[in-house]
A and B are shown apart, each in its own frame.
Chain A
């Protein structure tokens, strides 16, 4: 009975705008709770600086307190937006309550995580200063109030018309913010896991809150309206990244992320577009890396040649292509899971072959487990990649050089992916993935088209591998395993594609970033890393099977909402009926 009563009020509020006094009170309380959380971060939470980040100072927030501070501010601001304060309404285009709940929960989780880890790390609650207790209590208030608030989810409100310069500025601001957030994560203290875990909690809740508030859809509308601007902004963000790093280990993280993201994107052509499950993709990376190492002029190389870098990269790509065709040609004629099994086998065979081509168990090519070290540093037009360089007062270390080089490859792969995906051949790939029989009946030569996808994927991995070999300056067989705690391995790559979102560009890039960064920062998990990885994947498949960045198609596939896929299309009812009919 009570639910019957509250439900209509919620609806009428959303429509009429007249708010019940109780709702207003709860929103005011939420805002106050946010403010109190902010205030509590200016107190000391513990007495010793032993806990990472300096939480001991009155009047100045530090370390994990910053996260509570930011989320507390966000809670307060969104609560004010929910109160219809002029100038803040744009924050909640599709309803405030769910976003508020997420923000309040995020504030609460981060704060309690901090407080509990202080108690655990320093052995005892006695290590908490009054500030910590206050923070723990006041962050619980918004959680309570937001869960009492009626749900006011609504259709995305039409945004106010803005001049185009303002919209472009918004895009720029979003990318700047994104860069800052990623930077913050990368620069967290690697010796202590607490700041990074807190960061993950905060980012996770904040991201869900932004989605619930409708801001993410608003921004994706903007970015699709200004495609070229968005691309330029993304490019600039990626280019300036190394200039903001004060430690070379951070730039190294950047290079590795760029490499694995690129490889994952290459795999996405094979898995996401053409629907071919390749479980040995890392072997193609290895083929490229080994080929490039052999022709690089390394002292340990068994070939006495020294190719210039561009030639080494092309050789790596071509040899990978040949392997791709050799593996693909017999297996792609078959359907179903055969390819997965064959590629799985190929991945292992590659590693074992590299281990055994050492001159004793086989011909002397790869030095066996020692690999090929001492790959000479890159030099292009007299630009030595191992030296520091400075442009216009900004300095770039060796890792930064490689980062920018790798970025070039990433851009190339993004370009190839988007162009091939949106063309006759890309449509043929998707058609094969959807229904191979129907696709061949439409005149598509399934074998040929699949082989092209497979070979293209292999080539891109080979190119990335060649660059990676030069960056690492050594290749060893044990880098190319099927599954392991250290990327790259085939499981990691497939997981990056699926986690991020199959068939999209942003998905694998984001997926690889997360999957590389998180284990790197949580090294204390050690042997449990794979366990955590597995649990995370299971949870993801349960709650968001289409990945973090969903393909529009998959979003509809997994979440039947009855909504039409065309925004602004009338006749929603028609579509909903059509869906049920088609499924019947």
Chain B
């Protein structure tokens, strides 16, 4: 919220993605500034991951453009990564049968140049570059706390560590912007808090972060700004407080109350039912139980 007026790391302008007749993302604009953590939330199917795929070149947006530090990116995943945007995936996509260290080394791909010839001839330059890559990869593993498992196959890591490793692999390309797609999905509260710390640490290293997440506490603790995507359109963008108090957001997640059915009446009904349940629960429930059973029998 208190970003300086430096040029944004990421500028998405009017990004639209259509699959045939279905418009998954409709002219979304989004900016991420250096040193910012921006959250992207929305109900399932709102188009968050599709938007991510448009940003990283996995999809070619039907309309609109994506620019990194002012340069428009070609819609090719490897060129986007080369430019400085790295990502993780919603469902973990590690190279399962490579070791932890090798996974991170693959992440270094864009920042090293050694081709086939230098690999075959093994000159001093090759050895130096390989050693430098290894050092950097080990640093990253140290950073996320997996250095002692460098030689394990990544498929043998526990779930939480696989998530971490995916982040380390993305960081290996020295990105200016890191896109995290549901980094805490399936994590327990402790792991979620650890991930939170990790994201802050990444921000402190100077990498802007754009994160999709369903865990609202995580998002509102973490993000400087939050954008809400509903049915492919950006509903609102602002600080945690603004977004949290916006009733359209609440409506998008929980649905709107019925027309002409004021909340007070319903609340009273619920209260009455609860009171009834606590006092005369036994006969009531027993009866309901038998009817259910007979119904089953029939």
Interface residues of A (CB under 8 A from B): 415-416, 419-420, 423-428, 430-431, 434-435, 437-446, 452, 456, 553-554, 556-557, 564-566, 569, 574-575, 577-579, 581-582
Contacts and interface: CB of A to CB of B under 8 A. Distances in A.
A442 B110 CA distance: 8
The winner among A425, A428, A556, A557 for most chain B CB atoms within 10 A is: A425
B214 interface: no
A556 B158 CA distance: 16
Given A427-B105, A437-B77, 9 more contacts: A424-B112, A425-B115, A425-B116, A430-B95, A443-B82, A443-B173, A582-B156, A582-B157, A582-B159
Contact of A577 (B93, B108, B115, B158): B158
B173 A578 contact: no
A557 B153 CA distance: 10
A442 B156 contact: no
Contact of B81 (A415, A427, A442, A554): A442
Interface string B95-139: 111100010011111101011100110100010011001000000
B203 interface: no
B75 to A, nearest CB: 12
Top 10 nearest A-B pairs (CB, nearest first) are: A443-B110, A423-B119, A443-B81, A438-B93, A434-B95, A553-B97, A578-B158, A440-B77, A431-B106, A445-B78
A431 B78 CA distance: 13
Contacts of B58: 437, 440-441
A435 B119 contact: no
B97 A554 contact: yes
Contacts of A582: 155-159, 162
Contacts of A566: 151-152
Contacts of A574: 158
Contacts of A430: 95, 97-98, 102
19 contacts: A420-B119, A424-B115, A427-B106, A431-B98, A434-B96, A435-B93, A438-B94, A439-B95, A442-B107, A443-B77, A443-B107, A452-B116, A556-B153, A556-B156, A565-B153, A575-B152, A578-B158, A582-B155, A582-B158
Contact of B120 (A419, A437, A438, A581): A419
Nearest to B99: A565
B159 A443 contact: no
Interface in B187-235: none
B97 A434 contact: yes
Interface string B234-258: 0000000000000000000000000
A445 B93 CA distance: 17
Given A565-B156, A578-B158, A582-B156, A428 B109 contact: yes
Contact of A423 (B86, B126, B153): B126
B169 interface: yes
B195 to A, nearest CB: 17
A314 to B, nearest CB: 16
B87 interface: yes
Interface string B138-163: 00000000000001110111110110
B156 A444 contact: no
Interface string B66-96: 0000000000011001100011010001111
A442 B159 contact: no
B56 interface: yes
Given A438-B93, A440-B78, A582-B155, A424 B98 contact: no
Nearest to B106: A431
Nearest to A422: B119
A236 to B, nearest CB: 24
A564 B152 contact: yes
Contacts of B98: 427, 430-431, 434, 553
A439 B94 CA distance: 9
A441 B87 contact: yes
A483 B95 CA distance: 34
A444 B57 CA distance: 13
Interface of B: 56, 58, 77-78, 81-82, 86-87, 89, 93-98, 102, 105-110, 112, 114-116, 119-120, 122, 126, 129-130, 133, 151-153, 155-159, 161-162, 169-170, 173
The winner among B96, B97, B159 for most chain A CB atoms within 10 A is: B97
B130 A423 contact: yes
A442 B173 contact: yes
Contact of A565 (B56, B108, B151): B151
Contact of B156 (A415, A426, A564): A564
A427 B130 CA distance: 12
A51 to B, nearest CB: 50
A428 B116 CA distance: 11
A420 B116 contact: yes
Nearest to B158: A578
B119 A424 contact: yes
Contacts of B102: 427, 430
Contacts of A440: 58, 77-78
A441 B153 contact: no
Contacts of B153: 553, 556, 565
A419 B156 contact: no
A456 B107 contact: no
Contact of A424 (B97, B114, B156, B161): B114
A426 B82 CA distance: 19
B56 A578 contact: no
B171 to A, nearest CB: 11
The winner among A442, A445, A557 for most chain B CB atoms within 10 A is: A442
A456 B77 CA distance: 25
The winner among A444, A446, A569 for most chain B CB atoms within 10 A is: A444
Contacts of B157: 578, 582
A444 B78 contact: yes
Nearest to B113: A424
Nearest to A440: B77
Given A419-B120, A427-B106, A431-B106, A441 B156 contact: no
Contacts of A431: 95, 98, 106
A310 B129 CA distance: 33
A428 B120 contact: no
A336 to B, nearest CB: 17
B95 A435 contact: yes
A115 to B, nearest CB: 47
A441 B95 CA distance: 12
Nearest to A416: B120
Contacts of B97: 430, 434, 553-554, 556-557
A427 B103 CA distance: 9
A525 B286 CA distance: 78
A575 B100 CA distance: 14
Contacts of A434: 95-98
Nearest to A428: B109
Contacts of A444: 78, 106, 109
A318 to B, nearest CB: 15
Nearest to A431: B106
